[in-house]
Amino acid sequence: APVTLVMGIESSCDETGVGLVRDGKLLGECLSSSMSEHVRFGGVVPEVAARAHLEAMVPTVRQAVERAGVSMSEIDAIAVTAGPGLATALQVGLASAKAYSLSLGIPLLGVHHLAGHVAADTLVHGDLPDRSVSLVVSGGHTSLLLLGDLARDPIVHLGDTADDAAGEAFDKVARILGLGYPGGPAIQRAAEDGDPDAIRFPRPTTTRWGFSFSGLKTAVARWVDRCEGPLPVADLAASFQEAVVDVLTAKAVDACVSHEVDTLVIAGGVAANSRLREVAERRCADAGVTVRVPPPYLCTDNGAMIAAVGSMLTSVDAPWSPLELSTDPSAPL
C-alpha cells in the first residue's frame, strides 16, 4: 500500500484534536480542551465548545504538524469527524477540514467518531483481527459494537444506552457526591479508599447488550437523600463504580462469546477507568478473550484516532468525501 500521511481533525465535543498518522503510525498530535470553560455549567455547552474550537483550530493544527516533524505540503489527505457529536462543534472541524483540503488540493475523508475511538487502539497495539467487539464508553456514548474491517464494513450496534451514557452517569453521580467535574477520574480516586461491596446498587439492564444508567444514578441520589450523618463518599463511589463496571464487562464478554469473537477493544473516556480495565481483563481471561485498551491519552477524544481511520481508508482506496460533506450529529451513536 502507498505510504500516506493523513491529518485527522476531531471537534465533536469539547476537545479540539489534531493528529498526524503515516501508514498507521502516529507521528504527532495536539489537543486543546475547552473543558474548564464548561465546569460552571456542569456539562458541555455546545455554543461555548464551538467558539473554543474556532479559536483553537489553527494553533492546534500548527502545533501537531510541528510535533510530527512534517510540513503542511507533505500531507496527503484530511480526515475529519463527521459525527456523531454536537452539531455546532462538528461544523467547526468540518469547515476547517474542507478549507485545508481545498487549499492543499488533497482528499477529504469524513470519519465516524466511534470508528475513531476503536481505531485509536491500532496506533499502539497494531492491526485489529478481522472481527472484534468494541465497548465504547464515554461522556456521550455507551455502545457495544460488532466490528469487521473498520475501513470497509459497517459498524453493527449490538446495544446502546437507553438513557445516560456511562461517563455521564459518572459525571452526574460525582455531582451528587460533591466530587466535581469531570466525574469519572474523581469517582475513581474517591473509590480507591472505599469498599465496592459496601452498598449493593442495582445492575439495571434493558436488552441483552443494551444499557441503562439513569436508574442507577437515581438509586445513588435516593441513598444520599436518606443518609443521616456524614456521607460515606468513598464507599458510595466504589459501590457505584462497581455496579457500572459489573454491567459493562458482563455484557461485553457475553457479546464476544456469543459472536465467537476473541478480541474486545474498550475505548472512550471511561476506558481510562482502572477498575473497568481490571475487571474486564479478569473476565476476558476467563472467557479466552483478549482485551485491548488504548493508553489513556488515546482513550479520550483526540485527533490521532481520526487520522488512524483516515489512514485505514486511504490504504483501501476508499472514495473521498465530497466537499459538500455535511455533519451527521445524530449518526447512530
By rule CB under 6 A, what count of residues binds ligand KG4? Answer: 20
Is 17 flagged in the annotation as binding?
no
Tell me the closest approach of the beta carbon of residue 143 to Zn ion, in angstroms: 11
For the chain, give me the number of helices (H) and strands (E)?
Answer: 12, 10
Q: Choose which of 4, 81, 300, 327 interacts with ligand KG4 (CB under 6 A).
A: 300
Q: Choose which of 28, 84, 140, 196 interacts with ligand KG4 (CB under 6 A).
A: 140
301 binds ligand KG4 (CB under 6 A): yes
The pair phi, psi for residue 84, each rounded to 5°, is -80, 165
CA separation for the pair 324, 271 (Å, rounded): 34
Closest listed residue to residue 15, CA positions, set 299, 296, 302 = 302
Total length of the chain: 333
Nearer to Zn ion, 183 or 194 (CB): 183
- Here the cell at position 15 is 476537545
Is 173 flagged in the annotation as binding?
no
Q: Choose which of 81, 138, 143, 273 interacts with Zn ion (CB under 5 A).
A: 138
Is 103 flagged in the annotation as binding?
no
24 binds ligand KG4 (CB under 6 A): no
CA separation for the pair 129, 149 (Å, rounded): 8
- Here the cell at position 44 is 458541555
Q: Choose which of 52, 146, 270, 304 interacts with ligand KG4 (CB under 6 A).
A: 270
Q: E strands within the chain?
A: 5-10, 15-22, 25-33, 77-83, 108-112, 132-137, 142-147, 156-160, 263-267, 290-292
- What DSSP letter does each residue of 137-159 carry, written as one string? ESSS-EEEEEES-TTTSPPEEEE
Give the contact letters, 194-233, x = binds to Zn ion (CB under 5 A), - = no.
----------------------------------------
Instruction: Answer left, alpha or beta for residue 132, where phi above 0 means left and psi between -120 and 50 means alpha.
Output: beta
Neighbours of 261 (CB within 10 A): 19
| Residue 171 interacting entry, from ligand KG4, Zn ion, none, C-beta within 5 to 8 Å by type | ligand KG4
In a 13 Å sphere around the CA of 97, the CA atoms on its Cβ side amount to: 40
184 binds ligand KG4 (CB under 6 A): yes
Tell me the closest approach of the beta carbon of residue 23 to ligand KG4, in angstroms: 26
Subset of 143-172 contacting ligand KG4 (CB under 6 A) = 167-168, 170-171
Tell me the closest approach of the beta carbon of residue 288 to ligand KG4, in angstroms: 27
Is 137 flagged in the annotation as binding?
yes
182 binds ligand KG4 (CB under 6 A): yes
Q: Annotated binding site, which residues?
A: 113, 117, 136-140, 171, 184, 273, 301
Positions in the binding site for ligand KG4 (CB under 6 A): 13, 138-140, 167-168, 170-171, 182-185, 188, 268-270, 272-273, 300-301
Residues lying near Zn ion in the complex (CB under 5 A) are found at 138, 301
